[in-house]
């Protein structure tokens, strides 16, 4: 996956591709950071149904413990305004799920908090093939086909973690073609950062370079070819991208 430089992404490469490190570009965006952290990414954990209103909008019960699934690291791509987001729109509805993404900076041990172990924060989208997922749920099959496809996990550049207290009260937002379709704050989560980190660490292991997509607030919906997405952190643009259809083969 690493193509030679530390970020795993050539500064001259503008193709839509999976990446294995943090963003090294994005200077034209109003990023809430002065120095992007560049580290390889390892495991990509995702949390389902972590906001009550989102669980309700899909007709799902509120979980009694974190619901964890994974995406391949190959699903990652960047929302740096220079890549299009090539998605399999021909496979049914592709929904946007705007999420806060934590990057873990060290081996996590029992009792450690987000303030001790998180070294980066980004906004990301957990793109979901909703029709495919509905069918997989009916059949009791794993979610990989609905959640793990290429480019299903685009990220803004990482900022240094502002600390849990500052992070949870900061609003984040997704604009689709200029209209706000999702907004939230981590203070509305069912399971907070510390609980998610402990749960994932205990059950699956959590270490340097791992990511956690922490769940989406309400307002998920389908994207179409040509749609423009803009992700905002505290009202400022942190990343953007344009939707493109994956060529059908």
> Which residues of the chain form contacts with Mg ion (CB under 5 A)?
97, 126, 216
Residue 220 CB, nearest distance to Mg ion (Å)? 8
Specify the residue, 126 or 230, whose C-beta has the smaller distance to Mg ion: 126
Residue 52 CB, nearest distance to Mg ion (Å)? 14
Residue 126 CB, nearest distance to Mg ion (Å)? 3
Specify the residue, 56 or 166, whose C-beta has the smaller distance to Mg ion: 56
Specify the residue, 73 or 216, whose C-beta has the smaller distance to Mg ion: 216
Reduced to 3 states (helix: H, G, I; strand: E, B; else coil), residue 71 is strand
Name 124's bridge partners.
Answer: 99, 155
Specify the residue, 26 or 127, whose C-beta has the smaller distance to Mg ion: 127
In the bound complex, which residue of the shown chain has the CB atom lying closest to Mg ion?
126
Q: Catalogue the E-assigned strands of the chain.
A: 44-48, 67-71, 76-78, 80-87, 94-96, 98-104, 118-125, 128-129, 153-155, 159-160, 172-176, 179-184, 211-213, 221-222, 228-233, 236-245
| CA-based torsion, 57, 60, 64, 69: positive or negative | negative
As a whole number of Å, the end-to-end CA separation of the chain is 24
Alpha carbon distance 36, 156 (integer Å): 11
Residue 34 CB, nearest distance to Mg ion (Å)? 29
Residue 106 CB, nearest distance to Mg ion (Å)? 25
Specify the residue, 51 or 158, whose C-beta has the smaller distance to Mg ion: 51
């Amino acid at each position: 996956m690493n193509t030679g430089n530390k970020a795993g992404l050539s500064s001259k490469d503008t193709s839509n591709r999976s990446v294995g490190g943090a963003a090294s570009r994005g200077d034209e965006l109003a990023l809430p950071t002065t120095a992007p952290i560049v580290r390889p990414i390892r495991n990509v954990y995702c949390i389902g149904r972590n906001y009550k209103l989102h669980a309700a909008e899909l007709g799902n019960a509120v979980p009694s413990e974190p619901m964890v699934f994974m995406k391949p690291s190959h699903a990652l791509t960047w929302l740096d305004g220079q890549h299009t987001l090539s998605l399999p729109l021909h496979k049914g509805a592709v929904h946007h799920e705007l999420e806060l993404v934590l990057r873990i900076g060290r081996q996590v041990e029992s009792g450690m908090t987000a303030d001790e172990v998180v070294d980066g924060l980004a906004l990301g989208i957990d793109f979901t093939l909703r029709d495919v997922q509905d069918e997989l749920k009916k059949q009791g099959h794993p979610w990989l086909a609905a959640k793990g496809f290429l480019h299903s996990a685009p990220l803004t550049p990482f900022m240094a973690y502002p600390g849990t207290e500052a992070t949870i009260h900061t609003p984040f937002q997704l604009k689709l073609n200029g209209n706000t379709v999702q907004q939230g704050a981590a203070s509305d989560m069912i399971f907070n950062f510390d609980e998610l980190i402990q749960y994932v660490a205990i059950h699956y292991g959590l270490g340097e370079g791992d990511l956690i997509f922490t769940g989406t607030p309400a307002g998920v919906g389908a994207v179409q070819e040509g749609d423009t997405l803009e992700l905002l952190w505290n009202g400022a643009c942190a990343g953007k991208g344009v939707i493109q259809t994956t060529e059908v083969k």
